[in-house]
Structure 1
Amino acid sequence: MSLDGVFLGRLLEELKPQIEKQRINRVHSLDKNSFVLALANHKEVLVSLNADSSRMNLITREYIPTSKLTPLAGFLKKHLEGGIITSIYQVENDRLAVLGIDSFDELGFIQPLKLVLELFGRSANLLLLNKDNIILECLNKTYVLSESNRILVPKMPHQFPKTDKINPFQTNRLLEYNQYQGVSNLLFSEMRFQNDINIIKSPTDPVIIHSRGRYHFYCFPLQHLGGECKHYPTLSEMLEEYYLNLQHEQIRSSEQRQIENYLKKEKQKAANKLQKQELELKTAKSNLGLEKIGNILSTNLWRVPKGAEYVEFEDFYEQNQPIKIALNPLLSPSQNLEQIFHRYKKAKRAILQIEEQIEATRKEILYLETLNEQLQQAGIKELREINTEITKTPEKARGKQKPAISTFKIAEDAIVMVGKNNLQNNYLTHTLAKRDDYFFHVKDSQGSHTILRCTALSDELVKITAMIAAYYSKSRLSSQVPVNYTLVRNLKKVPGTKGSFVTYQNYKTVFVTPDEDLIRRYFER
């Protein structure tokens, strides 16, 4: 992997002045393998021990902590929150990072601890040690001697993995094969390409390289890859760009994943159900032709021999063209006729019912798609509300707490309110909004209910509010997004449907391109 020992050393040098001597205010858990250390200087450090993305870097993206703590997460919160990071260093040139932390016990006495990060990909681990290097807790426990000849369980002395590889910073010899400690195959290829081991001392220049259809990152450019290079100010920014944008990794909590999996499963069930219903509708419509067959058979019933498997008569609907009619030889002619008309009447009754069922299933799919879109933009409170909605928590159990509505102050006499899920949308539109407020929503797409409250409507207010409505929608990354707006008094809730669907009339449409920086400035007022 690209994050090798050489890279880690540069990364720790970058992090050191930003996190040393800082208090750990909170330890947040995203899942069993990912944690965030929220520091007193408002910096946040992501520690990921996932097999394909083990790393440590500063993050700026919004994330949602899980409320379901693992034993390790609870242990870290208990012992690290309130502690001071006193040091951060690398063990030799390996993918081993150690954070020295002064924690405090119940009486206020200092307890020196070490948080050890073993960023070994599939063998990644996180361990908390006391001052005597005794393991207090660890992520992945090993009860028998592993390949590294270590037992990793609480109360056991900790030892770093032993290696016979050569530290590249302690030799000037370029080997034919990669026997260097902390040197990835990617870096070794560059060393061989330039025939120079000292490239590991190149100045830090974070870069993402797009070569042969793949993305690579490193702490300085790699000439042997060629391709297109994009440089970044810091290693943390580069890692955030690589994993969150290029690799489409998301800083998600276990609740988010659980809800996403639930919605995906329910949508697939609804799609399968819709497919069966459409097939039933097609069959029912084809059975409407049985009326014609029944009439032809009824006219010629006296000509039907008993026990016949099929008969052939003139089709007086099609200029007496011959038509073959299949029969059940075990039934009499009159019973065959009765069965044909029964199938026709059943199909006629079923068509209306199936069409209603198809419409209901399509609404269910739209509802699930809307929930999924709301989930992508959900904060902590919105996530909890979405979870409440899909688990159908009774109102008494939820309590009387009102949904939290995001508010933007556009001017002294104008505010914009945004609902980010169905609970917020329904509360905002049908309870909080006044009849003379203005309702905004993206046209023909999923999005938030957006309410403008002002004393006098102007083109500038319409433009800014429409921009906010477009930003909090599925079309947030599009340009020239159509947004409808009308008075709240023109709204009508769609009866008998899940979610927050409404219909409206007497509306106007404006086209806008969302400006994230402008919207954030109004939100921060």
Structure 2
Amino acid sequence: MSFDGLFTRAIVKELNDTLKSGRISRVNQPYPAEMIMVIRAHRHNYSLLISANPSYPRIQITNTPYKNPAVPSKFAMNMRKYLEGSLLEAVSQVDNDRIVKLTFSNLDELGDQEHLVMYVEIMARHSNISLVNEKTGKIIDTIKHVGSDQNRVRLLLPGATFRMPPKQDRVNPYLPNQGYTDLIKQTDDVNELAHGLQQYYQGFGRDSAHDLANRLLKSDDLPTTYHAFLKGFDYPDPVIVKTDRGKQRFNAFPPMGVAEDQLQHFDSLSELLDAYYTSKAEADRTKELAGQVLQVIHTELKKDKRKVKKLNQQLDDARKADYYRIRGEILTTYLNKLKPGMQTIELPNFYDNNQPLKITLSPELSPSRNAQKYFTRYDKLKTSVAYVNEQLKLTNAEIDYFQNILSQIDLAAPADVQEIKLELEEQGYIRQRSHSKKRRKIKVAKPEEFKTSSGKTVLVGKNNLQNDRLSFKIANKNDTWLHVKDIPGSHVVIRDPHPSEQDILEAAQLAAYFSKGRESDHVPVDYLPVKNLHKPNGAKPGFVTFRAQSTLRVTPKLLKK
């Protein structure tokens, strides 16, 4: 089931029952298209997530932790100004549409009672959050500004008059009607009936329409079946349905014809949405926050790969240095045969059984200068080899560094992206903000913690700053350190000086999972005591050298936390 009008009705009832009369204590905007209000209701703090993310728009109570950006957005500041300290009077739905209305009461700057309304539109890429002054109808702010160049009919800008989205010519299914009886007379095909229900009724998603169509076609009492289906959204039994192909969908209650072993039940709709959306939304948020980081990395990688190509070409040229030395020596030997103004000369090559060798000359140069020209070219190529090899080594190391960061982003949480961005700022790849403004330092998060089957603690660094902190600040010298061999990956530490072979195997599987080789079946992993690690002076974050390691091959696997 999608987050359609029927599911919206169910979640609105849950939110109203839980949050009504609660007081807003904090407002945050952890991600560009999402806000969280902490509401104190019934002696409990609830985090209300309101998302206008085009891929995962929704409204729910969440238990998923989040991290605020260093500098709050203008929208967040406005929401704090108008909503913190206010009372949530009610949560309601506009008709049976995907529009949720939150009504707040507060005191304005003069101490007069003020009523504000927040409209949450859950409509894919058109999703938005708008705070409106109920008395004037003027928009205070929206999380997404929509100007006249985007929509000539409906402006969503601070100071504009708020207008509801255009209303579709469809029937509210909760109002008295006989539309379903007319539709079922026209067809006995479930897909056609489902399509007809979607076109006739307001707020029906494809899954909801298909479920009702199934029930109506197998019913002997159409009105009872129809009203029982609608009533189910007022008394939900939240489930995630697992399909045969491994996909999942969520429903307010079990759909007809689905076996119990395909269902995962939840105590509330919000818990259901947390379970369904958390991993999907986290990945999407990470990509959103990583946009600048990825752009910088891809730009630097492109430059480095061009540089490697150029350096390899220079090495190829250097390998031909003897070409110039041989010609210089032959010219020097037969210098008396050269005449001014000659463009070419054919001389015996004493390096090849005196076979004739044709040598190109510069007619404007003297014979000795022509010979010296070949020696100069030879010397230049020979002396460039050491420099080119050093540059090639540094450039390839930088490519490995960026490939490692790309691998980290694949498994990163939004907080990890902030640390990766900080790392790139410190390395000079991303320009820092003006030093005239006081910049809040991002605190490096703790490494992620897992447990082996025997209960041993295993710590994993999720980015290079965490890797350095784990390996050289947190780990004890006798702990066991692991890392995939010769490919980018996380630093992994077993917090035990004498781990068993099974502990090492499980930690190695974890190290392989948090690496670029996570899709492979046999990944080599090095392990050694932490005391054998060394970080060279001036090395980039995450880079270490080590000695006396052992190696085993494993299949990547994630451990339990």
Q: CA deviation at 1:448?
A: 2.8
Give the number of aligned pairs: 500
Within the candidate set 439, 462, 465, 2:504 is matched to: 462
Residue in 1 aligned with 2:18? 21
Query: How much identity, in percent, do the aligned residues show?
Result: 27
Residue in 1 aligned with 2:304? 270
Letter of the 2:466 partner, please give it. Q
Q: CA deviation at 1:290?
A: 1.3
Residue in 2 aligned with 1:161? 165
Residue in 2 aligned with 1:34? 34
Whether 2:423 is the aligned partner of 1:423: answer no
For residues 65-100 of structure 1, the C-alpha deviation after alignment (integer angstroms, 9 at most, x for no partner) is: 433332112222444456665544443354433234
The secondary structure found in structure 2 opposite 1:324 is strand
Whether 2:299 is the aligned partner of 1:295: answer no
Q: CA deviation at 1:303?
A: 3.0
Whether 2:94 is the aligned partner of 1:91: answer yes
Q: Distance in 1 between matches of 2:502 and 2:248?
A: 45
Residue in 2 aligned with 1:226? none
Q: Distance in 2 between matches of 1:496 and 1:30?
A: 34
In structure 2, do the counterparts of structure 1 residues 352 and 338 end up closer, same or farther at CA, with 3 Å as the change threshold?
Answer: same
Whether 2:385 is the aligned partner of 1:356: answer no
Q: Do the aligned residues in 2 keep the contact of 1:467 with 1:515 (CA within 8 Å)?
A: yes
Within the candidate set 58, 75, 78, 2:78 is matched to: 75
The secondary structure found in structure 2 opposite 1:283 is helix
How do 1:228-267 residues align onto structure 2 when only pairs under 5 Å count? 250-252=284-286, 255-267=289-301
Letter of the 1:139 partner, please give it. I
Q: Distance in 2 between matches of 1:145 and 1:363?
A: 47
In structure 2, do the counterparts of structure 1 residues 465 and 268 end up closer, same or farther at CA, with 3 Å as the change threshold?
Answer: same
The secondary structure found in structure 1 opposite 2:426 is coil
Residue in 1 aligned with 2:401? 367
Q: Distance in 1 between matches of 2:442 and 2:14?
A: 46
Residue in 1 aligned with 2:358? 324
Q: Distance in 1 between matches of 2:62 and 2:513?
A: 23
Q: Do the aligned residues in 1 keep the contact of 2:16 with 2:92 (CA within 8 Å)?
A: no
317-326 or 181-190, larger mean C-alpha shift: 181-190
Q: CA deviation at 1:340?
A: 1.3
Letter of the 2:102 partner, please give it. L
Residue in 1 aligned with 2:258? none
Letter of the 1:363 partner, please give it. A
Q: Distance in 1 between matches of 2:529 and 2:372?
A: 58
RMSD: 5.0
Residue in 2 aligned with 1:116? 119
In structure 2, do the counterparts of structure 1 residues 515 and 185 end up closer, same or farther at CA, with 3 Å as the change threshold?
Answer: closer
In structure 2, do the counterparts of structure 1 residues 291 and 125 end up closer, same or farther at CA, with 3 Å as the change threshold?
Answer: same
Q: Distance in 2 between matches of 1:400 and 1:100?
A: 36
Q: Distance in 2 between matches of 1:313 and 1:326?
A: 11
Whether 2:478 is the aligned partner of 1:436: answer yes
Residue in 1 aligned with 2:531? 489
Q: Distance in 1 between matches of 2:244 and 2:453?
A: 45
Letter of the 1:267 partner, please give it. L
In structure 2, do the counterparts of structure 1 residues 384 and 218 end up closer, same or farther at CA, with 3 Å as the change threshold?
Answer: closer
Letter of the 1:492 partner, please give it. H
In structure 2, do the counterparts of structure 1 residues 336 and 171 end up closer, same or farther at CA, with 3 Å as the change threshold?
Answer: farther
Within the candidate set 135, 141, 146, 1:137 is matched to: 141
Q: CA deviation at 1:209?
A: 9.3
Q: Distance in 1 between matches of 2:121 and 2:353?
A: 85
Q: CA deviation at 1:250?
A: 1.5
Q: CA deviation at 1:13?
A: 1.7
Whether 2:364 is the aligned partner of 1:334: answer no
Q: CA deviation at 1:291?
A: 1.2
Which TM-score applies when normalising by structure 1? 0.74
Within the candidate set 3, 7, 10, 1:10 is matched to: 7
Q: Do the aligned residues in 2 keep the contact of 1:27 with 1:38 (CA within 8 Å)?
A: yes
The secondary structure found in structure 2 opposite 1:351 is helix
Q: Do the aligned residues in 2 keep the contact of 1:37 with 1:45 (CA within 8 Å)?
A: yes
Letter of the 1:73 partner, please give it. A
Q: CA deviation at 1:493?
A: 2.5
For residues 440-471 of structure 1, the C-alpha deviation after alignment (integer angstroms, 9 at most, x for no partner) is: 22222323333334364433433444344344
In structure 2, do the counterparts of structure 1 residues 399 and 163 end up closer, same or farther at CA, with 3 Å as the change threshold?
Answer: closer
In structure 2, do the counterparts of structure 1 residues 76 and 253 end up closer, same or farther at CA, with 3 Å as the change threshold?
Answer: farther
Q: Distance in 1 between matches of 2:555 and 2:107?
A: 51
Whether 2:543 is the aligned partner of 1:501: answer yes
Gaps of 5+ in 2: 184-194, 234-238, 253-261, 433-437
For residues 11-68 of structure 1, the C-alpha deviation after alignment (integer angstroms, 9 at most, x for no partner) is: 4424642675235665442443333456677876654435566555677877654333
The secondary structure found in structure 2 opposite 1:440 is strand
The secondary structure found in structure 1 opposite 2:290 is helix
In structure 2, do the counterparts of structure 1 residues 56 and 508 end up closer, same or farther at CA, with 3 Å as the change threshold?
Answer: same
Q: Do the aligned residues in 2 keep the contact of 1:148 with 1:162 (CA within 8 Å)?
A: no
Q: Distance in 1 between matches of 2:149 and 2:488?
A: 54
Q: CA deviation at 1:364?
A: 1.2
Which TM-score applies when normalising by structure 2? 0.70
In structure 2, do the counterparts of structure 1 residues 153 and 328 end up closer, same or farther at CA, with 3 Å as the change threshold?
Answer: same
Q: Do the aligned residues in 1 keep the contact of 2:250 with 2:276 (CA within 8 Å)?
A: no
160-169 or 49-58, larger mean C-alpha shift: 49-58
Q: Do the aligned residues in 2 keep the contact of 1:9 with 1:90 (CA within 8 Å)?
A: no
Q: Distance in 1 between matches of 2:98 and 2:508?
A: 49
Residue in 1 aligned with 2:494? 452
499-508 or 73-82, larger mean C-alpha shift: 73-82
Q: Distance in 2 between matches of 1:139 and 1:402?
A: 29
Q: Do the aligned residues in 2 keep the contact of 1:95 with 1:182 (CA within 8 Å)?
A: no
Q: CA deviation at 1:339?
A: 1.2
The secondary structure found in structure 2 opposite 1:317 is coil
Q: CA deviation at 1:498?
A: 1.4
In structure 2, do the counterparts of structure 1 residues 453 and 125 end up closer, same or farther at CA, with 3 Å as the change threshold?
Answer: closer
Q: Do the aligned residues in 2 keep the contact of 1:206 with 1:232 (CA within 8 Å)?
A: yes
Q: Distance in 2 between matches of 1:59 and 1:329?
A: 83
Gaps of 5+ in 1: 221-229, 521-525
Q: CA deviation at 1:252?
A: 2.8
Q: Distance in 2 between matches of 1:101 and 1:210?
A: 45
Within the candidate set 49, 52, 56, 2:52 is matched to: 49
